[in-house]
Structure 1
Amino acid sequence: MSTEEILIKAAQLILSLSILVVLHELGHFIPAKLFKTRVEKFYLFFDPWFSILKFKKGETEYGIGWVPLGGYVKISGMIDESMDTEQMAKPPQPYEFRSKPTWQRLIIMIGGVVVNILVAFFIYAMLLWHYGETRLPNASVVYGVEADSLGRSIGIQDGDKIVSLDNRPVKYFDGITAEVILKEVKSIQVDRAGQVINLPIPEGFVNKLIKRKSSFVEARRPFVIDTLLPDGAAIKTNLQKGDTMFAVNGVPTPFMSGFTTELRKHKSESVDLGVLRGKDTLHVNATLSDKGTVGIGGKEVLELSTIHYTFLESLPAGFHKGIDKLKDYVSQLRLIFVSKEIKATESVGGFASIANLFPAKWDWVAFWNLTAFLSIVLAFMNILPIPGLDGGHVLFLVYEIVTGRKPSEKFLEYAQVAGMLLVLALLLFANGLDVWRWLKGLF
């Protein structure tokens, strides 16, 4: 990966997290202000010892810290990461968090999580409204599949048509890999020359699939030219948009993956390309690049399904998509703890792993899709009942509501320290795994 690609990925991650952190903290800030609770600081990123930028407006100091690991609001009279024990030793004041009714404190604490959930729903809704939702129906995969080595290891052959997973019919081809992983599918049923064959999935397959980070099958597509690249060899030949490529040096390549694979065997060489133009068969000579490319782009020839939404229709659709993404994320976490095939050391990652989810070239659609997903992740992780996170504060507030007794401030201080140490340990573990994988890649 080039330095430019790394910087683009890092920039997308920082921008995405900055948006989500600011909105999350606003979820605490706004109800605190509504309930006349003093907010002393509102910071993007953490600011130990010094800050990059700060200014004060009213009773609140706003700023940007230099440690890009999140952000915070410091609310008066609250035991949080600031561990301001001096303030807590003084008599409670009417404007402090600890002086407010329990229900108000609860709303302040869940505000950040609520905002993150709403942000995810809103982003998904706006993407659906603007772009619609395009999927590849399984019925459109009329040429069958091409299996990689992992797919072939379980018996899938080129040309097979996947019809069901655990005897559940497949509606969308582009959802097969996710379903195999998240639902721990035990068998795949394929149509092979009109005969349905059951293929058991052996133990260890899902773990290999996760490591590969790609599908084990692709939909077969003929290579029909859609673009002639200006700096490629094709522009100097009589190849035209709409031509179908079917052979390289006499080797039949009726499908896109086979065509590109065969080209890579002849890097920097002159090759004879078999071309179908309408009903005519042509032969075109072209000199390939040092990467084994001819400078053409293929178009989608399989029939895709696109659902378009009005603005009002996009709102419930965005809500349902957000819920589906949350379910998928929870399923992924569950698999880490209960599946024999998945190891935490291979599935957990830190900021580098998150950054690698972003494309190497700036893509606003991908950016907003990932930002919506990260917003769901941030909401879920924050609501976990761990002291130091929002969920820890909510846990103690619910205890107070149920029992009518407030935990002692000394207990809350100890719990806060323990929670912060646990969260710090998890951060070090996850990011340490990224470093370990990077080092393994070097050697």
Structure 2
Amino acid sequence: MTHAIPVPLPSALIDHHAVDLGRKPTSGWGMNVNDVATAPSGEIYALSNVYRHTYGTAEDEADPAKADFGYSLVNKYAPDGTLLATAVSGQHEFLPQDTTFGGPTTGLGRGLWWAKGLCVLPDGTLAATGPGDQTHLVTADLTAVTAHHDMPSRRHEDGPRDPFASWISTTPAGRLLCTTGEYGLYNYGNLLDNIVAITDQSLTPTSKPSLRALASMEAEPVKHTQADLRPGVLFNGKPVGMDHRPRPSLTEHLTELEQTARQWDWDDARLGRPAVVREDLFVVPVYGHIYRGGSRGQRFAFVLVSDEGEFVGQLGGMHLHRDSPFTGFCFEIAADPVRERIYHLNRYGLFAWTATGIRAQRLDLEDKRYKLLKHFTLVDCTPAGELILVHRTQHLLLRIACPDALGDLGQAVEDALRSYARERTALKRQWQPVNWHWVDSTAPLHRL
């Protein structure tokens, strides 16, 4: 199995904008790998964004070599890690950039600064999601965008209002586990993720299913009006909004259950991306307010919720300070519904749980055998039970085949990291990256 897979930039884009790959991100340009999704057949898709801010003059904007730009990229890989194709799309309708690589009104950019989530739907279509519950459907071969679901970026702007979800994951039976936003959380004027919901029908280019709300993070968003009702997000058959949403909320449950918690511990909390543990069970990250001076020790929880909206419990065995995900803001959860396992990686450890929430493993990242994991973000667990991690600065994917027994996870990770190091050395000789930026000129390039 290939352990190290580069996430490259297309050479045509680099040449068109005369990008200096040697420049540091602090100089106003950079690349981020945002998400990875794996199809049941084994193909891997990586979603990233690349940008440059030059703060130049109006004359500079007419020159592609000097102009600002921002693009969303989707790379497709064969199961063995071979790059098959790349799609590139403009990001934002207000960003003054040329349309050589696709315009924001036709690609993934309709109001998005960048797409942040990626999901392979049951029919093989890709769903790219972003802020404001914007969802864009892309064909599996990356040649076309077949549907847009979005809304104005501000609450009172005119324009089409047809949002869907900000995060999507699929269940084994093909249902969609989603999060959607609401206005008015903590008196904010923009959409913040607040509702965990599930669909009972498929999302297709011609059909958008209703979402059945299972849980809310915050019980009482303020200043709701009739205009804020979401006809496509239902609870007990009625649109979510005003004073109608699942109660008690997740933060109310957590405040009641945790004897040492105070009510204000969950003020200004946030909802993370849920993961599917099995067809009828999901895990939902919830974390408290992030402070500028540091948030290590703040409240966080990974809550188990059933497909009927019942609060089942939460993942155990994590210390608020010693295992805090606030260091580096590592709130990602990955789950393996085939084997009913749950995984989490932060700067202090790699954790594994059973579906009952009992911690089965903690690999301490201070151990030199696992220390390299501090540079990675956990993004996916494949249908074959492989963890996929992204190196935050070297733009490489790391695949780890998890063992049948979670007690053997440490040895599996150690072996994978050793193989990854060898493969990375070979890739550097082959690709000759500049400042850990990989550039490809061989795979087909599609402009969305």
Q: Which TM-score applies when normalising by structure 2?
A: 0.19
Q: Which structure has the larger Rg?
A: 1
Higher helix fraction: Structure 1 or Structure 2? Answer: 1
Q: Which TM-score applies when normalising by structure 1?
A: 0.19
Instruction: Say which structure, 1 or 2, has more relative contact order (CA 8 Å, 6+ apart).
Output: 1
